[in-house]
Structure 1
Amino acid sequence: MQTSKRDTQGFIAGSLIGTLGGLIGLGGAEFRLPVLVGLFRLPTLEAVILNKAMSLVVVATAFAFRIKSIPITELGQHWDVILNLLAGSLVGAWWAAGHALTMSKAWLNRIIMVLLVALAILMLSEAFFGFHDKTTALIAPGMARIVAGLIAGLGIGMVAALLGVAGGELLIPTIVLLYGLDIKLAGSLSLAVSFPTMIVGFARYSNSNAFSILKKERSLFRWMVAGSILGAGIGGLLLGIVPSHLLISVLGVILLISAIKTFKHAH
């Protein structure tokens, strides 16, 4: 595949994924990973590392844009939620990234396929049952909720490290359900949790020889990031045109099919 053609495909793919992600308030990394493996034929671990690097840039950009509508002072009022989830997610990301480096390619493929299928099922569940509409905390403030937050953060950190994603699809419903916070506020809080979590996982992957993929695929990286940022902006502008439950349902089905198809035939 010629470099110019690859760059063009990367920009188009990034734009489409960014637009879809912008429409539902996600970075789109869940959809980027199957594209990196299926379309660009990258080995799974290298695709995860490249995906995580892209997610870092996209999340940082999204956070900068959201500060205008939800200032840092408002986020600071919920520092306990951020610290509670971070305490678990940082450990989970470090542990999972370390194990991904020593895991066989076959097992890594299987685990990632299962995680993507689980995310697809979660998206379909949210579309049908409307988890995002809940604003009453499941657990009252106290030690029980702190422990639940630690466990949730641990699991989310592991998923984020293994898929190279920000984890918004898991963080947002967790914050809404567990702490009873508004969906828009939950979106910004999820970015505050996911950014340091991704940095920890990214630092862990830096010990791998597969980390050289960032230099090897720097052109593809730039074009996909540019497309993702552009797409996220377009998705934000189109927000409200497409019914969210219908969009999430369609994306859940797409992710389910692409995950199984991509990793069933990977390498």
Structure 2
Amino acid sequence: MTSEKTAPAPARAAHSPVLVFAAGTAVGVLGGMIGLGGAEFRLPLLIALFGFAALPAVIVNKAMSLIVVLAAIPARLAAVPLADLGAHWTVAANLLAGSLLGAWTGASWAVRMRGATLHKVLAALMVPMAGALVLAHTATVGTLMLPGPAQAVAGVVAGFGIGVVAAVMGVAGGELLIPAIVLLYAVDIKTAGSLSLLVSLPTMLVAFARYSRDDSFAVLRANLRFTGIMVAGSIAGALLGGLLLGVVPDLVLIPLLAAILLISAVKLARHSTTGDPVTDR
């Protein structure tokens, strides 16, 4: 399918590999310190620092998120064996029933938006991401204890919403999936983290497949080296961030990370007022 966004948007210059790797590492460290991939922090960098237009930035972010999740799965399976996750396969199936459709729908919406509109949407989504981050790490997530049919409906609805957000932002969605799994299914936080990866992976693949039908997907071919270097930095940073887990108290770290997301939201919103020379009609 050909969208109105007909030109790939590579970085505005041949950025230093050291800068690209350092940016990826910084994102990985931030994500690793809170047990997430950090893609929500990577997206503003792709736009503000490296000069990607909105939709190509989302596509590149999605590709990187997919690779980071694939790299994280073996470590998560070592912590929570696949046999243990098998006992919760209905949780993953329930969420996937909504998230797969949500991912396709969200990606379809994104490729049809004007650049300025997508900037505003991304800015708006950063705010609830910051809120979810604070709530998930500073408050105890309870459980709703819904009856079976209501729980199933709630799971599909939650999965759909998370799939849309993850597709539009190019993230894995773990910051939303983990509290949703704990809240709806009374699963412990460690198992919820592993289940979120099993839901995220097929959900991201669906969004990726939808983006591959758009002309802006050419941004990946134009930036393979850039993407590879930043992914390498992100994975290295995630490992380092994992080692630093607990070094900075959550009462300091989480508000700081939430503030970064809110500042990014403001900058993205302001960026939208200038228009997007690549993606606007």
TM-score bucket (shorter structure): over 0.9
1:139 alignment counterpart: 145
Residue in structure 1 matched with residue 14 of structure 2 by the alignment: 3
Q: Taking every aligned residue pair, what percent have the same amino acid on both sides?
A: 53
Q: 1:89 touches 1:157 (CA, 8 Å); kept in 2? A: yes
Residue aligning to 1:168: 174
| Deviation at residue 45 of structure 1 after TM alignment | 0.2
Task: Identify the match of residue 230 of structure 1 among 233, 236, 239.
Answer: 236
Match of 2:64 among 34, 43, 54: 54
Give secondary structure in 2 for the equivalent of 1:139. Answer: coil
Q: Structure 1, residues 76-124: CA drift from partner, whole Å, max 9, x if none? A: 1100000000000000000111121112212111111101122112223
Picking from 29, 34, 53, the partner of 1:19 is 29
**1:1-267 residue pairs with structure 2 within 5 A?**
3=14, 5=16, 7-128=17-138, 130=139, 133-134=140-141, 136-266=142-272, 267=276
CA–CA distance in structure 1, aligned partners of residues 251 and 89 of structure 2: 30
Deviation at 1:148, TM superposition (A): 0.5
Q: Which letter does structure 2 place at the counterpart of 1:55?
A: S
Deviation at 1:42, TM superposition (A): 0.3
* SS of match in other structure, 1:152: helix
Name the CA distance, whole Å, in 2 between partners of 1:141 and 1:73. Answer: 26
Deviation of 1:141 after TM superposition, in Å, equals 4.5
2 CA distance for matches of 1:245 and 1:138?
A: 26
Deviations 1:129-180 (A, max 9, x none): x1xx33x531234000000000000000000000000001100111111111
Give the whole-Å Cα distance in 2 for the aligned partners of 1:141 and 1:78.
Answer: 17
Runs of 5+ unmatched residues, structure 1? none
Name the CA distance, whole Å, in 2 between partners of 1:123 and 1:4.
31
- Kindly state the Cα deviation for residue 259 of structure 1 after the two structures are TM-superposed: 2.1
User: Displacement, 1:246?
Assistant: 2.5
On the 8 A contact 1:127/1:249 being kept in 2, the answer is no
Distance in 1 (alpha carbons) for counterparts of 2:15 and 2:104: 36
CA distance in 2: counterparts of 1:203 and 1:234, whole angstroms: 31
1:4/1:31 Cα in 2 relative to 1: closer, same or farther (>3 Å)?
A: closer
Aligned residues: 262
Q: Distance in 1 between matches of 2:137 and 2:250?
A: 8
Aligned equivalents of 1:70, 1:244: Cα separation in 2: 24
| Partner secondary structure for residue 15 of structure 1 | helix
Contact 1:29 1:55 (C-alpha < 8 Å) held by counterparts: yes
Which residue identity does 2:109 align to in structure 1?
H
1:50-78 deviation per Cα after TM superposition (whole angstroms, max 9, x unaligned)? 00000000001111111111111111110
Contact 2:102/2:162 (8 A) holds in 1: yes
Q: Using the TM superposition, give the Cα deviation of residue 262 of structure 1 relative to its aligned residue in structure 2, in angstroms.
A: 3.2
CA distance in 1, matches of 2:13, 2:225: 12
Q: Which residues of structure 2 form unaligned runs of 5+?
A: 1-11, 277-281
Residue 4 of structure 1: CA displacement?
Answer: 5.4
- After superposition, the Cα gap between the structure-2 partners of 1:2 and 1:105, relative to the gap in structure 1 and judged at 3 Å, is closer
1:67 and 1:125, CA in 2 relative to 1: closer, same or farther beyond 3 A? closer
Between the aligned partners of 1:79 and 1:125, the Cα distance in structure 2 is: 26
In 2, Cα distance between the equivalents of 1:138 and 1:2? 50
C-alpha separation in 1, matches of 2:201 and 2:23: 23
The change in CA–CA distance for 1:71 and 1:141 in structure 2 (over 3 A counts) is: farther
